[in-house]
Amino acid sequence: MRFKRLESVAIAVLLLASSLSARAQGPSLSAALPLVHTDNGPNSPAAQKAHYVVLVSLDGFRWDYAKRDGATHLLALGKQGVWAPQGMLPSFPSLTFPNHFTIVTGLYPEHHGLVANSFFDETKQARYGNADSAAVTDGSWYSGVPLWSLAEGQGMRTACIFWPGSEAEIAGHRPTWYARFDNKTQATDEVQRARIDDAVALLKLPDADRPHFITIYYSEPDHEGHQFGPDAPETKAAVLKMDGMVAKLKTALDATHLPIDLVVVSDHGMVKTEGPWVTLDKFADLTGFDAVGQLLYGKTEGDRVRLYNQLKKASSQFIVYRRKNVPADLHYNQNPREGDPVVVATGPFAIRAHEPAAGQPDTAPIPGAHGFDPRNMRQMKASFFAAGPDIVSGKTLAPFENVNLYPWMAHILGLTPAKNDGNLNILAGTLRDNGGEPAPAESADQKTPEPTKP
Ligand code: AMP
Ligand code: ZN
Ligand code: ZN
């Protein structure tokens, strides 16, 4: 008897030691893509029971590429679950950082603060740029609660294998795991595959440590779309390469036998640029203005009025607005980071404030671009495919705004969303539970008691 008790104590000690050593050892991550770890503790008991969301972004994967180029694996994913054959609507401006951060916060860019890839903040008297590692890792630039911070705050572990904003502490949290973005190496075959290997390694962790929300980002086919244009064979090849990557990921996720919803999106589309640069200082005197790209920051109200009047009838290639008068459905009229006046292109035109400084080479606009008004340029629309245990099968969706993804993913994960600009009702019909409360686990001998009558 005594011996039996000793034996069971020894087994318990062994089990504890092996679980501790599994935690201590950590996942076997790819050497090509080491991840930064923050010890946010184990998943809460409720989080351990939650399902999983793997959110993949294919940068610049225009809404029509999958059908156009025969991306059979993505189309099959959409058929197994849901997809948007006419595309998903990006937020304005249809640029990478604004839209990636919209997807994970449910906020329009002017509410989460990334109003462009690069912009100026007058209060900080500082500039944010997506290629400036000091800025991207500084949480003070970002507003809203990205899904990984939302989850971490509610006891659920997360991982970001690249995503704009994921390298900063935001809303008091960091993802438990994140990758440092390195533009020099991130597009190599090795680091492309390593994203999948790392995701799978994390999903093999014990229940207590396994992340339930994982982001994966690929910069293709955006880079090819810019360099060669949306219709070039190089862009098609990148589309098909990414389709193959999604197929590998899907097979690997299926092999885990975990209840994973795979969501594949893009941030925006791509359009063939037309004509030479539209240079604003050819039409108006920009003295007294700081400019970042086409964003214009005036020092005095007098300067803003003067510039607005000078640009108002200057060209049919853009419309200029005082910031407060930018059409409400662009959601781009409240944040001083947007500058004032605001210039909006009327077509696929490359707009800049100035020519390069004397001595610097000037080059023609690149063949492909985005950033334009998604309301009147269908080429800006993004992609959406999703399938998994929480998602209905074989349904197609009319175009919807990307702010709606946040409450939808929060619902799948069982999280209470933070304030956002989206609405769960928009995508509720894609969910097996229709967006309602998850059905209570009820067995025959454990019925919910009838309410007592007064
Ligand atoms: P664009 O697609 O023109 O809006 O430019 C976005 C740029 O951001 C691309 O060159 C991407 O490679 C780059 N990028 C994407 N994700 C990140 C990230 N997490 N950190 C820094 N740069 C990124
Ligand atoms: Zn992009
Ligand atoms: Zn781009």
Output the pLDDT for position 23.
Answer: 52
How are beta strands 368-369 and 271-272 bridged, if at all? Answer: antiparallel
Q: Please write the tens of the pLDDT for every residue from 165-199.
A: 999 999 999 999 999 999 999 999 999 999 999 99
Please give the number of the atom of ligand 1 that sits closest to the Cα of 165.
Answer: 19
Using the mean position of ligand 2's atoms as its centre, give its distance from the Cα of residue 201 in Å.
27
Looking at the chain, the whole-number percentage of residues with pLDDT higher than 70 is: 91
In angstroms, the CA 82 to CA 405 distance is: 13
Domain assignments of the chain as residue spans, ordered by start: 22-272+376-446, 278-365
Q: Please write the tens of the pLDDT for every residue from 257-299.
A: 999 999 999 999 999 999 999 999 999 999 999 999 999 999 9
- As residues whose CB is below 5 A from the ion ligand 2, the structure lists 59-60, 96, 222, 267
Helices 96-105, 405-413: axis angle to 10 degrees equals 40
Q: Whose CA is nearest to atom 11 of ligand 1?
A: 219
CATH 3.20.20.80 correct for 22-272+376-446: no
Out of 94, 130, 235, 242, mutate this one to test ligand 1's pocket (max ligand atoms within 8 Å of CB): namely 130
Whether the pLDDT of residue 452 is over 80: the answer is: no
Q: Please write the tens of the pLDDT for every residue from 324-340.
A: 999 999 999 999 999 99
Output the pLDDT for position 26.
Answer: 87
In angstroms, the CA 370 to CA 416 distance is: 33
Please give the number of the atom of ligand 1 that sits closest to the Cα of 162.
Answer: 19
Using the mean position of ligand 2's atoms as its centre, give its distance from the Cα of residue 137 in Å.
19
In angstroms, the CA 282 to CA 318 distance is: 14
Helices 233-256, 72-80: axis angle to 10 degrees equals 50
Q: Whose CA is nearest to atom 6 of ligand 1?
A: 96
Whether the pLDDT of residue 202 is over 90: the answer is: yes
Q: Whose CA is nearest to atom 19 of ligand 1?
A: 164
CB 388 within 8 A of CB 254: no
Output the pLDDT for position 207.
Answer: 97
**What's the mean pLDDT in 206-232?**
98
Please give the number of the atom of ligand 1 that sits closest to the Cα of 369.
Answer: 3
Output the pLDDT for position 447.
Answer: 37
Output the pLDDT for position 63.
Answer: 98
- As residues whose CB is below 5 A from the ion ligand 3, the structure lists 222
Whether the pLDDT of residue 153 is over 50: the answer is: yes
**What's the mean pLDDT in 49-59?**
98
Using the mean position of ligand 3's atoms as its centre, give its distance from the Cα of residue 101 in Å.
15
Q: What is the chain's mean pLDDT, rounded?
A: 92
Whether the pLDDT of residue 449 is over 70: the answer is: no
**Closest C-alpha to 35, from 201, 281, 255:** 201
Beta bridge partners of 85: none
Please give the number of the atom of ligand 1 that sits closest to the Cα of 164.
Answer: 19
* 185 alpha carbon, closest ligand: 1
Q: How confident is the model at residue 125 (pLDDT cuts 50, 70, 90)?
A: very high
Higher pLDDT pick, 437 / 81:
81
Looking at the chain, the whole-number percentage of residues with pLDDT higher than 90 is: 90
- List the structure tokens of 352: 């800049």
CATH code of domain 278-365:
3.30.1360.180
Using the mean position of ligand 3's atoms as its centre, give its distance from the Cα of residue 326 in Å.
24
Output the pLDDT for position 397.
Answer: 98
Output the pLDDT for position 444.
Answer: 35
- The residue to which tokens 């590692």 are assigned: 133
Output the pLDDT for position 24.
Answer: 52
Q: Whose CA is nearest to atom 2 of ligand 1?
A: 96
Q: Which amino acid is at 21?
A: S
* 99 alpha carbon, closest ligand: 2
Within 6 Å (CB) of ligand 1, which residues are found? Answer: 59, 95-96, 117, 130, 136, 162, 164, 181, 183, 217, 219, 222
- The residue to which tokens 């998943």 are assigned: 43
Using the mean position of ligand 2's atoms as its centre, give its distance from the Cα of residue 257 in Å.
32
Out of 91, 178, 181, mutate this one to test ligand 1's pocket (max ligand atoms within 8 Å of CB): namely 181
